[in-house]
Every structure is written in structure tokens, then in C-alpha cells.
Amino acid sequence: MKKILIAAAALSAVFFASCGTTKTVEGSGIKADAPKVKTAKTVLDEWQGSELGGEIPQWVVELANGNYGEAALSRVMPDIKGKKTFVTIGYGDNLDFVRQWTDLVDVETEVASTLSRVAAKAVEAEMNGKGAKEGQNTVDPTKTEQTLKMYRTSLTSVRFSGLEKTAQFWTLSHKESGKEQFDSKYSYYAVWTIDKALFESQLKTAMSNIDETSTEEKALKEMVRQKLSDQLSVQTNSAEENEKADEVILK
């Protein structure tokens, strides 16, 4: 089957071999060979509908490239405009496994888990940033942990209902470096949507127990609510990919 190169992926290996370039090791007066860095290419082997000549949807390309912004996805999926969108992505070496995780996942639980995770990171970053601005060397860890616990508990205690699956797609790929092939895996993508007003109502309920007695606490709560409301939410079965998604969402 025809294979398609889709990206120059992250650095896969470093080989210390002579390549005609030298550098001086600081303080030694000895010149050493500069390291030659090889990169791996991600190659698509198969995808949903490929046997019939089907193409990969642009929304899958966006997600595969880590474009987790709401605006980026809504440009190529007009039907999700005006709705709250969640994405689940499964990775693995068995298609049935990743399909089952992504399609049959308890999406309401995963949504609550995702919102709790993102909220906790947003709260921690805000509190640490505020402490730095005020010239504090450290932020009170007890207060920080109490606040984080309050947000986690509130957001995981509510079951978000009304989610509908809008689209799903799978791909099979591997990486290549020279003649070497490795890291073959399936990726399964699913997009879920919920009416924005319904989501806002459930989010309000989820955050109703969060303390907002002070101006500072009100501002923090509003910042988190806005972040959870406006940004795309992504949950995968890979902790590393969740971290990457959160970095995009929390910018």
C-alpha cells in the first residue's frame, strides 16, 4: 500500500559520528566532532476508508498536529460552531483496543476528569504567578493544596450529560529513520459536542461549591470558568499527550 509522509517528527536518536564539522571542547583546547542528529519521519500506512481511496479529513490533520484550539477545529468542522467541544484520542498497537477506549469511553466521566485537571493547572499557575508578582519566594503550599482540592472535588462530582459524538476517525502510522522502522501505532480520534447553554448550566452547578467570599477568590473562579468554557477540552489515554494538550489549552 502506498505510504504517505505526513510530518518530520521529534528527534528520534542522536548519533555521534564524524560529519566534517568540529567544535572545541571548552577549556580543553581539544577539538571534538560535533554530534550528527538524525530525525524520524512519521509515515501513514493506512487510515479509515483508505482502501476505497478515501482521504484524511482536515480536522484529523489539525488534531494530529496538536492544533487543539477551538478556533482551529471549528474552521474545518463548521457544525461544532456554537457548541462546547471535547476530543478523545486513543493510541495503541491494537485497533480494537483504541477504538473501544475512544468510542466506548465513559465520556461524561472523562469530561469531568479533563476539566478538573485543566482547572487545577490553571489555579496553580495563577496562584504561583500572583505570588511571584508580589515578591514572595514561595506560595503557602497548604493554601494552594486546599484550593486545588476544592476545584478538583467540585468538578469531578458533577456528571456532564448531553454529549453527542460528532465524528470519529482512525489512522495507522509508524516512524522511520533511514532504513529503520519503529513505533507503529493506531490513533483513534473522536469529537464530542454538547449544547453550549447546557454545558454552561452544568459547569455552573459543578463550580457552585467553590468559595468566592473574597475579591481574589471571585477573580480566580471567573478566570477558571472562562478557561473551561472557551477552550477545547482534550482527553487521551497518554499522559504525555494530555500534557501537550494542556499546554496549548492553558496558553
pLDDT in tens, 162-180: 999 999 999 999 999 888 9
For residue 5, pLDDT over 50 is answered with no
Q: Pick the range with the lowest mean pLDDT from 14-28, 112-126, 181-195, 223-237.
A: 14-28
CA separation for the pair 221, 250 (Å, rounded):
15
Question: The C-alpha cell of 18 is what?
Answer: 564524524
pLDDT band at 212 (very low <50, low <70, confident <90, very high): confident
23 contacts 31 by C-beta, under 8 angstroms: yes
Q: Pick the range with the lowest mean pLDDT from 83-87, 148-152, 158-162, 164-168.
A: 158-162
Ordered by start, the domain boundaries in the chain are 4-249
- Positive or negative, the CA dihedral 17, 22, 25, 31 is positive
Q: Pick the range with the lowest mean pLDDT from 2-16, 33-47, 152-166.
A: 2-16
For residue 237, pLDDT over 70 is answered with yes
What pLDDT does 250 receive?
81
Say how many residues make up the chain. 251
CA separation for the pair 163, 233 (Å, rounded):
13
What pLDDT does 94 receive?
95
Q: How far is C-alpha 79 from the chain's CA centre?
A: 22
101 contacts 90 by C-beta, under 8 angstroms: yes
* pLDDT mean across residues, the chain: 82
The CA-atom distances, in angstroms, between 123 and each of 59, 67, 113, 127, 214 are 30, 23, 15, 6, 15
pLDDT band at 96 (very low <50, low <70, confident <90, very high): very high
What confidence tens digit (pLDDT) does each residue in 112-141 have?
889 999 999 999 888 887 655 555 555 678
For the segment 64-75, the average pLDDT, to the nearest whole number, is 88
For the segment 58-62, the average pLDDT, to the nearest whole number, is 95
Helix (H, G, I), strand (E, B) or coil at 20: coil
What pLDDT does 227 receive?
87
Residue identified by cell 448531553 is: 162
For residue 93, pLDDT over 80 is answered with yes
| Dihedral angle over CA of 149, 151, 157, 163, nearest 10 | -140
Question: The C-alpha cell of 110 is what?
Answer: 472523562
10 Å CB burial of residue 47 (0-12, 13-18, 19+) is buried
241-248, Cβ contacts within 8 angstroms, sequence gap of 24 or more: 241/89, 241/91, 242/117, 244/66, 245/66, 245/68, 246/117, 246/118, 246/121, 248/66, 248/67, 248/68, 248/69
